[in-house]
Amino acid sequence: MCGIFGIMGHPEAANLAYLGLYALQHRGQESAGIVSCEGTAFHEARHMGQVAEVFPGEVLRRLRGDAAIGHVRYSTSGSSELGNAQPFRIRYHAGEIAIAHNGNLTNAGTIRKQLETAGSIFQTSSDTEVILHLVARCRLANVEEALVDALRKVEGAYSIVVIARDRVIAARDPHGFRPLCIGRLDGSVCFASETCAFDLIGAEFVRDVEPGEIVVAERGGVRSVHPFPPAPAHRCIFEFVYFSRPDSRLFGQSVSLARKRMGAELAMEQPAEADIVVPVPDSGMNAALGFSEKSGIPLEFGLIRNHYVGRTFIEPQQSIRHFGVKIKLNPARDLIAGKRVVLVDDSIVRGTTSRKIVTMVREAGAREIHVRISCPPTIAPCFYGVDTPLRAELIAANNTVDEIRRFIGADSLGYLSLEGLRRAVGSSQGFCAACYSNDYPVPVEGTDVAQMKLFEKPRR
Amino acid sequence: MCGIFGIMGHPEAANLAYLGLYALQHRGQESAGIVSCEGTAFHEARHMGQVAEVFPGEVLRRLRGDAAIGHVRYSTSGSSELGNAQPFRIRYHAGEIAIAHNGNLTNAGTIRKQLETAGSIFQTSSDTEVILHLVARCRLANVEEALVDALRKVEGAYSIVVIARDRVIAARDPHGFRPLCIGRLDGSVCFASETCAFDLIGAEFVRDVEPGEIVVAERGGVRSVHPFPPAPAHRCIFEFVYFSRPDSRLFGQSVSLARKRMGAELAMEQPAEADIVVPVPDSGMNAALGFSEKSGIPLEFGLIRNHYVGRTFIEPQQSIRHFGVKIKLNPARDLIAGKRVVLVDDSIVRGTTSRKIVTMVREAGAREIHVRISCPPTIAPCFYGVDTPLRAELIAANNTVDEIRRFIGADSLGYLSLEGLRRAVGSSQGFCAACYSNDYPVPVEGTDVAQMKLFEKPRR
Amino acid sequence: MCGIFGIMGHPEAANLAYLGLYALQHRGQESAGIVSCEGTAFHEARHMGQVAEVFPGEVLRRLRGDAAIGHVRYSTSGSSELGNAQPFRIRYHAGEIAIAHNGNLTNAGTIRKQLETAGSIFQTSSDTEVILHLVARCRLANVEEALVDALRKVEGAYSIVVIARDRVIAARDPHGFRPLCIGRLDGSVCFASETCAFDLIGAEFVRDVEPGEIVVAERGGVRSVHPFPPAPAHRCIFEFVYFSRPDSRLFGQSVSLARKRMGAELAMEQPAEADIVVPVPDSGMNAALGFSEKSGIPLEFGLIRNHYVGRTFIEPQQSIRHFGVKIKLNPARDLIAGKRVVLVDDSIVRGTTSRKIVTMVREAGAREIHVRISCPPTIAPCFYGVDTPLRAELIAANNTVDEIRRFIGADSLGYLSLEGLRRAVGSSQGFCAACYSNDYPVPVEGTDVAQMKLFEKPRR
Amino acid sequence: MCGIFGIMGHPEAANLAYLGLYALQHRGQESAGIVSCEGTAFHEARHMGQVAEVFPGEVLRRLRGDAAIGHVRYSTSGSSELGNAQPFRIRYHAGEIAIAHNGNLTNAGTIRKQLETAGSIFQTSSDTEVILHLVARCRLANVEEALVDALRKVEGAYSIVVIARDRVIAARDPHGFRPLCIGRLDGSVCFASETCAFDLIGAEFVRDVEPGEIVVAERGGVRSVHPFPPAPAHRCIFEFVYFSRPDSRLFGQSVSLARKRMGAELAMEQPAEADIVVPVPDSGMNAALGFSEKSGIPLEFGLIRNHYVGRTFIEPQQSIRHFGVKIKLNPARDLIAGKRVVLVDDSIVRGTTSRKIVTMVREAGAREIHVRISCPPTIAPCFYGVDTPLRAELIAANNTVDEIRRFIGADSLGYLSLEGLRRAVGSSQGFCAACYSNDYPVPVEGTDVAQMKLFEKPRR
């Protein structure tokens, strides 16, 4: 779970990277970083924390130059330390480069071991650093050729932007797991994980970087190469369900509309006799609207989200029931009391949060509670870039739907089917849905899959 | 614009005050403070900033004792400095007390001048300090009697909580401008500006403090006195329109339902031929839903709010169109493009923000834009506790509705009438609507009304 | 123990106050503050900590204006909190003023009680605030007249500087306990506790403010008044022994020379058979030199002071012998081993530090250790502005010289006599030596003298 | 200019490293760092700033384990950034190690270029990192063997301590440029640049690490190897003149006594007709005492040092004469006025500071000023670990003694001869005196010697 941004040829490169990262903040709140290039001088700022806090004006002013790349991170691989905050920047025999990476390499461990035996010193625990050492070991002086050489050796999911003295390079792995888009602003070229970054800076969306494509933006223009053999597409379907912002266009479609269609499909597959449809804010909003429209059951904003949630919150010693949920959500009792409620959310991971929400809504006076989830049960961890809890912690990996229903205390529980989800995103092919199907399109080295963590959804 | 909280007789008094303030954060984000009392020792923490940030665990642990009061502040009277952050705490001849105040005294200037001439030294520029000096000048040793004596001398709007060694006192001015509620938790008594604070800490809502009532919570029990002559009620109608949280019960009603009724009234008074109803998040949500239901025009979440807005944001030098709005809102183009849009919001103050939103929605492809506001035009500043811009800056004070429509660039513009608003809140009496009617129920000393600021709405 | 500074009529008033305080840092390291006046606007900065740390450039730049006063504090009266950091600044009926005070009022408690009963609210626990309330209660609009009126009511020790809109006023109590000097720089007038402050800013020392004199510096010139009846001088003799800087002129004399004479008197009164004279740095340096010259025993720098002592220092759990002393001082073994050593210091307070030093020097190989103290035994606390431990903690108040010698482990111990000290400062009259004589020249209200703290010497 | 410390086998290893660094603070104030080892886990803290500030209690508590190394740094090689703060810590094929280095490698640039060409990625601009890459490239799994292998390839000055999972290794280059000592504490072994570090922690000084010796401290005991061919000793004579602490034993001698002998030699070589001898504190103290004793001219503490100098100091816009010196030193006028003064200092680098001191002393009333320097003129930069200004900035490299005398404004100026200095340190052989003789014992790669910086003496 990361967001990346790159821009070449704009006098305010770092400022625009900053804004681009700000628009991509939902993809990672743990750390943020920008590397800019001014002639041959690189400037860098990386911090733990969110974009709007960690780049005060004086820091941004230091990031001079007409090229920049940036990264927001929610740890996928590597631990939570500043040292793992990207972009990573190195000096090697052919000069200086920096890289920002979204995704997860599946053979990083093997390569790292080989490189260390040969005398390489790794500075981080991140899989991304493997790419840099492969580039440094390559005798080719041309950074683009060395990068292609390095990427030929790695497997798995990567959307990356790389900055060198005179160019910004964007690359997407041959399967296209993670998104990456090309934009244009005042004659400069920019790259971003999602189109919402272009909206904020006023850039025009041009097209997606294609799976397996490498796009090189230089001061003189843009080039594209396809150095890898063709491969089947495995775009991440979870980006539609939860991860991407609703105002983004993703893999050629509107995220908002896809979610509304999920809600409509859900209303057909899993109807409910009820008085009102209540979304779990904010990710369940569009699906709830789709459900309401298709079912004819009126929508109500029966759960109110607190907008001032801080990073660390002191819980009183004397336990308050459902405190962790209450600090974020509060029911509007007068809307809910005495009603039969359809509660629409986009996932149940461990089940504990859903259980608290259901209890809270029932205590607010709901007569019946029918939980509807706008995707299939999450049964398998992701190895392609979404941060995940262990499979053992995953309620749907180990329980039937009815067991889950009883655990969360709902009167009924219904999930959207994988076919319904595929209908909603308009295609039965070209997507990775391993987290719903346990069917991994790219093998993962030495993984005891049962022990891996499954995605832990940060509420936004 | 402030929120207050008080609790007497609970072992975790300060922790609960902290949570109560957190739930009242929408009433003031400038500063936060808590004073607790442990036997005869007072403990205090006040900071600029938001609740979740300014009370780290070690600070809360210092705030020992079974009684506490707290305050969140958005400056109404007095400048933005830590010195003006409440609660104010003093030591005087009869001991130590602290006070937290929501509202605005209309004769504070005159009293302050008299007290200073007699040798009093004021520490702040806040009207609230006048109450403390009146208490200190009173020869009565009983804090409750001295407080009543002081309150007899002040006029205007006040909901206050006061903490002394052995009691927490809550008081509401005879007109009841600002809200104040009584709750109960585990045998302790608590007070809060809104009921949402009780929901978070798991307290039971008992009733409102009545206009002119003084409620004294002691370790042995609760007493109530009504020392002032009866007066007509002037409850703030703007609390319903914008200020209170939708999940609160206010003056005996649901805020969410009142807003939905405003939307429904608006749909009847100001109908529009359109394809979709789009709320301006978050304050326009319920009114938009009411409008959609009454009009039959479907709701769409066509404006997406960014949840990661920081306090200080660096704008790029090269101006980005509508940057200030874009940083908070982004249109979901695919929902809006080609549509006739009803845009529902809860106010137009200066008009500049509305103008940016309308332009942004039009650039996203809307065919027609019909702006509907769920209250009457704001034509007059508030002197009873809502922070306000100057009357001269207030677009509706100086322009016709059609002039405003042209300024913001909408195809049509409609406001809810004052009668419609009163119908929506269920009563044509007992409310102060001075900001819509220019009819002030309590006179304001020496005010050049034309120069006063009118409310500047912080988006939440 | 405080230092004060004031300047009127210089375009860089706050910068010079900052430098003046820096030169007076030895008089107080707990807090520092400056108030400047620019036309009618007052600017203020007060912080816990030392001068060179607590006034970064941007803070100093805010302190505009051509007049300023400043204060460094080591708590005498009132607890260690920012609220007690001076200068104190108030707004009252006749405008704004601020005050900085060195000394201790002996009747502050009684006056404070009277003022509180009459309705005054005190903000600090400091005796200095009494002066401000007396000024605010005075109906005279002229600040100078009101200040004289207030000072007539207080007793004890005070050297003060006061800043008002158009003047800086310096005053010294009729007994002249604490020092205060007048200087001149580029046509402006300045005041400081010691002349070393003038040296740093390049000001010329003019003369001392006389006991009982009030000097008023206005933009047009300087005036002097003597509003109080004449009184006998009681200048603090301890300023010569320890407190003032050796490069200052104090009460008309050189501090360095006075200390050398103390050492010479000590060599005559308390001779020793020894090989070397070793000063305890830094305060014992001049006395050791005087002792060495008079006795003919060579000086050696046998104790080395660590210059990097930080404010908070983590002591290892496993106790290191004499750690607290070692962190500040280390013996140069090769100078000391096998020698008979005269150790010259300027005081023994509790005796614990001296004991550690003696043991450390003996462990470094000294054959004999003869401790010589350049003043009489400290037997009584100070109530006139020097911070003091309780009398009970004072080793010389409760033990004979021989008992002290045994406690600290020296082979011999000799103190300078009071007569010898008076000879060294050149006068048998006009000095307060209460800490050595227990003879208090001004009575102290309601003090259980036995319980008062005596000075705790901060090593510099 | 750096200080290093190491300890193996003590339960409070990091605390003792902290204290050891504190005692070595004079060797470097720019950054400080500690790496401890607890079983197989390494803990690390590195910061810009001084020891007493940068290791708060909670940081020290994190540094668990019974082995630790530490470093204080004043940049010699590599720029002033946290990234260059040592110890450097890496993970490589054989595990984790960290290193702290005092000195300067003379062939680091050549080796670095070779390693980068072979694919190594350097993280710092420091010469020390070369040693780590050589270790990582070595296929030997034993860290001790790999370290010897690496040290065989480097040339120049190094005293180092290295920590691995189960041992702390100390090494000193074959010429012994920089000091390194072995101590013993409670059965544990420790290493430090100077013996004053042992004094503070209560450790016993055992002996110096010999030139070319490698000492390995393991939990079971200590071993020593001499893997390099014998080489002539080139111990740094400047350590005696200025750099080491006077209470340290260095290369088998007392620093204090060596400095006193320099002063005595100086008095014989460069006598002066004068009334008083005044040391420039603090480094000139012992030499001044030696001069005074030998010449019979009495010592006076005529220059007072301010002990509260902060790191950043705001200079007033209006220039104060000699401000930079005055902030640190102030003359005691009464001691100096009318006197013929011998001013004893330990070096003149650029001459500007000496010029300010001479002017300041003359303005304080000195009749004549005879400057005496306790070492020869500094004419050449150091390439073995002392931070140096460019040769062009070095006044003695480009001017005669009489020209320097005129520049600083003294009545006479005398330096100690190199022979006199050698007599004072007791040996005409075995010392590097390149900074005085321009005779470099180890060649320096590709250096344009004329452009190198010469030592910039930080006053302590």
What are the tens digits of pLDDT across the range A170-229? Answer: 999 999 999 999 999 999 999 999 999 999 999 999 999 999 999 999 998 999 999 999
DSSP B80-124: SSGGGPSPEEEEETTEEEEEEEES-BTTHHHHHHHHHHTT--B-S
Helix C108-117 to helix C128-137 angle (10° resolution) is 40
In this model, does residue C184 exceed pLDDT 90?
Answer: yes
pLDDT at residue B450 is higher than 60 = no
- What is the distance between the alpha carbons of residues A45 and A57, in angstroms, rounded to a whole number? 12
The ipTM, to two decimals, is 0.90
CB contact under 8 A, A119 and D92: yes
| Secondary structure element (H or E) that encloses residue B33, with its range | strand B31-38
- Condensed to tens digits (0 to 9), the pLDDT of residues D309-341 reads 654 556 666 556 667 788 889 999 999 999 999
- pLDDT single digits (tens) C105-129: 999 999 999 999 999 999 998 999 9
- Quick check: A316 contacting B, CB < 8 Å? yes
Does the distance separating the beta carbons of A285 and B332 come in below 8 Å?
A: no
Distance from CA of B139 to the nearest CA of C (A): 8
- D91, D120, D122: residue with CB nearest A119: D120
The chain B residue lying nearest C122, using CA atoms, is B91
Q: In this structure, what DSSP letter does residue A193 have?
A: S
Spatial neighbors of A359 by CB under 8 A, at least 6 apart, are A321, A322, A409
The CA distance from B87 to the nearest CA of chain A, in Å, is 21
Q: Tell me whether D64 touches chain C (CB under 8 Å).
A: no
**One-letter identity of residue C422:** R
Note if B236 is an active site residue: no
Helix or strand run (H / E) with residue C228: none
* Helix H or strand E segment including B345: strand B340-345
Percentage of the residues of chain C whose pLDDT score is greater than 90? 79
Q: Which residues in chain C have Cβ-Cβ distances shorter than 8 Å to D286?
A: 301
Query: Is the predicted pLDDT of residue C13 greater than 80, yes or no?
Result: yes
pLDDT of residue B391: 77
Residue of C nearest to B97 (CA): C121
Confidence tier at B53 by pLDDT (50, 70, 90): confident
pLDDT at A386: 86
Contact C420, C402 (CB under 8 A): no
Which residue of A42, A43, A121 to mutate against D (max D Cβ within 10 Å)? A121
| Widest Cα–Cα separation across chain B | 72
Residues counted in chain D:
460
Residue A455 has pLDDT above 60, yes or no: no
Going by C-alpha positions, the residue among B107, B103, B75, B78 that lies closest to residue B444 is B107
Q: Cβ-count burial of A152 within 10 angstroms (0-12 exposed, 13-18 middle, 19+ buried)?
A: exposed
Residues 133-162 of A with CB under 8 A from D: 133, 136-138
> Within a 13 Å sphere around the CA of B169, how many CA atoms are in the beta-carbon half?
21
B17's tokens: 């005050």
Taking the CA atoms of A117, A121, A123 and A127 in sequence, report the sign of the dihedral they define. negative
Spot the catalytic one: B2, B236, B432, B435: B2
**Predicted local confidence at residue A340, as pLDDT:** 98
Rounded Cα gap, residues B372 and B287, in angstroms? 10
C41 to chain B, any CB pair closer than 8 A? The answer is no
Phi, psi for D330 (deg, rounded to 5)? -140, 135
Q: What is the pLDDT of residue C320?
A: 67
**What percentage of chain B has pLDDT greater than the value 70?**
92
Chain B (236-275) residues lying within 8 Å, Cβ to Cβ, of chain A: 245-247, 249, 254-257
- Name the percent of chain B lying above pLDDT 90: 78
Asked if the Cβ–Cβ distance from A132 to D119 is below 8 Å, we say no
Interface present between C and A (3 or more CB pairs within 8 Å): no
Query: To the nearest whole angstrom, how far is the Cα of A100 from the nearest Cα of chain D?
Result: 18
CATH match of D249-305+323-437 with 3.40.50.2020 = yes
Question: Is the confidence at residue A316, as pLDDT, over 70?
Answer: no
- pLDDT tens digits in sequence order for chain D, 460 residues long: 899 999 999 999 999 999 999 999 999 989 999 999 999 999 999 999 888 888 888 889 999 999 999 999 986 556 667 788 999 999 999 999 999 999 999 999 999 999 999 999 999 989 999 999 999 999 998 999 999 999 999 999 999 999 999 999 999 999 999 999 999 998 999 999 999 999 999 999 999 999 999 999 999 899 999 999 999 999 999 999 999 999 999 999 999 999 999 999 999 999 999 999 999 998 899 999 999 999 999 999 999 988 776 545 566 665 566 677 888 899 999 999 999 999 999 999 889 999 999 999 999 999 999 999 999 999 998 999 887 676 788 899 999 999 999 999 999 999 999 999 999 998 878 999 999 999 999 988 765 443 333 333 333 4
The C-alpha atoms of residue C53 and residue C10 are separated, in whole angstroms, by: 24
CATH fold of B2-234: Glutamine Phosphoribosylpyrophosphate, subunit 1, domain 1 (3.60.20)
Output the pLDDT for position D458: 39
D132 lies within 8 A of chain A by CB: yes
Task: Give the burial class of C305: count Cβ atoms within 10 A of its Cβ; 0-12 exposed, 13-18 middle, 19 or more buried.
Answer: middle
* pLDDT one-digit tens code per residue, C428-443: 789 999 999 999 999 8
Does residue A349 contact residue A317 with C-beta atoms inside 8 Å? no
Domains of chain D, residue spans: 2-234, 249-305+323-437
**pLDDT for C323:** 73
* Alpha-carbon gap, residue B45 to B55, rounded angstroms: 8
Q: Which residue has the higher pLDDT, B427 or C162?
A: C162
Q: How many CB pairs under 8 A join B and C?
A: 49
DSSP for A339-391, please give it.
-EEEEEES--SSSHHHHHHHHHHHHTT-SEEEEEESS----S--SSS---B-G
**CB proximity A62 to D under 8 Å:** no
Closest partner CB to A121 (pick from D116, D118, D132): D132
The confidence band for A456, taking pLDDT boundaries of 50, 70 and 90, is very low
Q: Which residues pair with B432 in a beta bridge?
A: B236
Contacts with B117 from chain C: Cβ below 8 Å: 93
In the block, residue with structure tokens 């509304």: A260
Q: Which residue has the tokens 């310096």?
A: C170
Over the stretch D368-416, which tens digit does the pLDDT of each residue have? Answer: 999 999 999 999 989 998 876 767 888 999 999 999 999 999 999 999 9
Q: How confident is the model at residue B448 (pLDDT cuts 50, 70, 90)?
A: very low
Please give the positions of C annotated as active site.
Answer: 2
Residue B393's pLDDT band (cuts 50, 70, 90): confident
**Residues D240-261: tens digit of each pLDDT:** 999 999 999 999 999 999 999 9
Residue A163 has pLDDT above 60, yes or no: yes
Identity at B388, one-letter amino acid code: T
Amino acid at D269: E
pLDDT of residue D451: 38
Contact: D91, A132; criterion CB under 8 Å: no
Average of per-residue pLDDT across B27-52: 93
pLDDT, residue C214, reads 98
Q: pLDDT tens for residues C380-401?
A: 989 998 876 767 888 999 999 9
